[in-house]
Amino acid sequence: MKIIRDNQGLALFMAIIMMTIFLFFLSASLYLTRVDTKITANLKLATQALEVADAGLQHALALIPVGSDFNGELACGTPPCTLVPNTSFPAGSSFGYTVTAVNDPGDGGGPTNDMNNIILLISTAGGPAGATKTIEAYVRRSIGQFTPPSALYVNASSATSYDSEFFDDDDGVHIFGDDIDPVNILNPNDDVAGPKASLPALTTTSDAVTDALVNELSTSTGSHLILGQGDNPSISTTSEMIDVMQLADSLANHATTVKYLDGLTTNISCSTPCQSCPSAAPCNFGTSASPQITYIKDSNSSSTVLNGYVRGHGILVVEGRTTIGGNFNFNGLVIHKKSDSTHYISFEDSAWVYGGVLFGSYNGNVRFTVEDYSRIKYSSLSIDMVNNNFGALFPRPARVFAWQDK
C-alpha cells in the first residue's frame, strides 16, 4: 500500500511538472504571438506611413508650377519652406503629411537662391501609435522639349477685354490648335498639316475665364473659328501652370536678347515687306536662319504698336501696352508680360502667329483682345525651332530623380 501511495505522489509531481512546462510554453507562445502581432501592426503602420509620405511628395510636385528654377519654392524667408502644410490623408484618417523644401546642399547659391535647378523636398508623414516616416527627394526640372498647352494660353484668374470685347462682333478670328506647318510665313495659302497631335486652341487656368470667353463667343455674330482638340469652340481650362512672368523675365534677361527697354523710338509701321528692311531694323525680329529673342517694353509716355510688314522668327516678349496689327507675321512664340493694371495686348488687322502665344497676368488679371482677321496657329515646326535655339531657357515640370527613406 505504501508503494502505491509513493507512485501516486510521483505521478502528481510529474503531472505538476508537465502542467508547468505546458503553461510555460503556452505563455511563451501567447507572448510571441502578441509580439508578432505588434511587429506586424508596426510594420503595417510603417508601410502606411511610407505610402502617406510618398503621397505628400506627389502632392508637393503637383503644386510646383512649371518653371525654370525653384526660387519660388525657397522664397519663405528662412528655409525650410512649407509647400504643403499638415494635411490629413486619406481624408478622415489618422494619417497626415507635411512637405517642406530646402535648396540643394551642393548648390552654391545659398538657402534661397537656386542656381543648379535642384531642390530637396522633405515629406514627413505621421499616423496612429506614433508612426512616422520621412522621405527626402531630390527634384529637378525635366529635360523634355517644351510644348505650349495650346495655341493661345492664358494664365489668369480673371480677364477683361481691351477693346470692349475679347473677340470682335464681326470679321473672323482664327485660333487653331491643329498642327500646321507654315511652308512660308509670308504666304498663308501654302500651309500644310504638321506631323504632331492637335492641341486645344485656347486654354486658361480659370473656369471663370474659360466661361467668359465661351459665353462671349456664343453671342458673337463674327465668323470666328477656334478649333483644335476638344469641343467646338476649342476653349478649355487646363491644370498646366506656366509662370509666364518668370518666363518673360528669363528670356528678357538673356545675354543674346535684342532689347528695346523704353519702347521703340516710334511706333513701327513698315511700309514694305521685311525682306527690304535692314537686318538690324525693328521691322525684322529674327530670320529663319538666325532666330532671335526680342524684348520690347513700352515707354512711360506711349504704348508699343507693331504695325505693317513686321516679320520675325524666334521669341517675341512684349511688356506693357501693346498692339500687334497690320501684316505682322511671326514664327515662334509671342509672350505678353502684364506688369501693371493698365497693361494690355491686342492682336488686330491681319496679325499672324505660327507657334504659340502666352498671356501672363498682373494680380491674377489679364487684359486682351484678339480681333479682325488675326490668326494664331499652333505649329510644332515653329516650336521645334524655338526649342532647338532657346530650349534651355524654357520652363519645365518638376521631376524626382532620387529619393531616400529616412
- The answer to whether the beta carbons of residues 209 and 185 sit under 8 Å apart is no
Question: 53 pLDDT band (50/70/90 cuts)?
Answer: very high
- DSSP character string of 316-341: EEEESEEEE-TT-EEEEEEEEE--ST
Which segments of 61-157 are extended strands (E)?
81-88, 96-103, 118-126, 132-141, 152-154
Cα angle, residue 191 at apex, residues 188 and 192 outer, rounded to 5°: 170
Task: Say how far apart CA 341 and CA 264 lie, in whole Å.
Answer: 21
- DSSP character string of 170-191: SS--EEE-S-EE-S-TT-GGG-
For the question of whether the overall pTM of this predicted structure is more than 0.85, the answer is: no
Cβ contacts of 320-324, under 8 Å, gap ≥ 24: 320/263, 322/296, 322/298, 322/346, 323/348, 324/348, 324/351
Q: By mean pLDDT, which of 14-18, 353-357, 375-379, 381-385 is the weakest?
A: 14-18
Which segments of 264-392 are extended strands (E)?
268-270, 284-285, 292-297, 304-308, 311-319, 321-324, 329-337, 344-347, 352-359, 365-370, 375-378
What is the per-residue pLDDT across 190-233, written as a single tens digit (0 to 9) for each?
899 999 999 999 999 999 999 999 999 988 888 999 999 999 99
Of the two residues 310 and 353, the one the predictor is more confident about is: 353
Cα angle, residue 250 at apex, residues 249 and 254 outer, rounded to 5°: 110
% the chain with pLDDT above 90:
56
Give the containing element (helix H, strand E) for 10. Answer: helix 2-63
Position 273 scores a pLDDT of: 46
Residue 208: phi, psi to the nearest 5?
-65, -40
What is the per-residue pLDDT across 8-45, written as a single tens digit (0 to 9) for each?
667 776 777 777 776 777 676 666 556 555 555 567 78
What is the per-residue pLDDT across 136-174, written as a single tens digit (0 to 9) for each?
999 998 777 889 999 999 999 999 999 889 998 888 999
Residue type, 208: A
Whether residue 69 is predicted with pLDDT greater than 90 in this model: the reply is no
Whether residue 362 is predicted with pLDDT greater than 80 in this model: the reply is yes
Mean pLDDT of 298-309: 81
* 107 half-sphere exposure, CB direction, 13 A CA radius: 22
Question: 67 pLDDT band (50/70/90 cuts)?
Answer: confident
Residue type, 385: M
- The answer to whether the beta carbons of residues 150 and 176 sit under 8 Å apart is no
Q: Is 50 exposed, middle or buried (0-12, 13-18, 19+ CB in 10 A)?
A: middle
What is the per-residue pLDDT across 320-342, written as a single tens digit (0 to 9) for each?
999 998 888 999 999 999 999 99
3-state DSSP call for residue 47?
helix
What is the per-residue pLDDT across 265-274, written as a single tens digit (0 to 9) for each?
444 555 544 4
Q: By mean pLDDT, which of 80-89, 100-109, 280-289 is the weakest?
A: 280-289
Computed over every residue of the chain, the mean pLDDT equals: 86
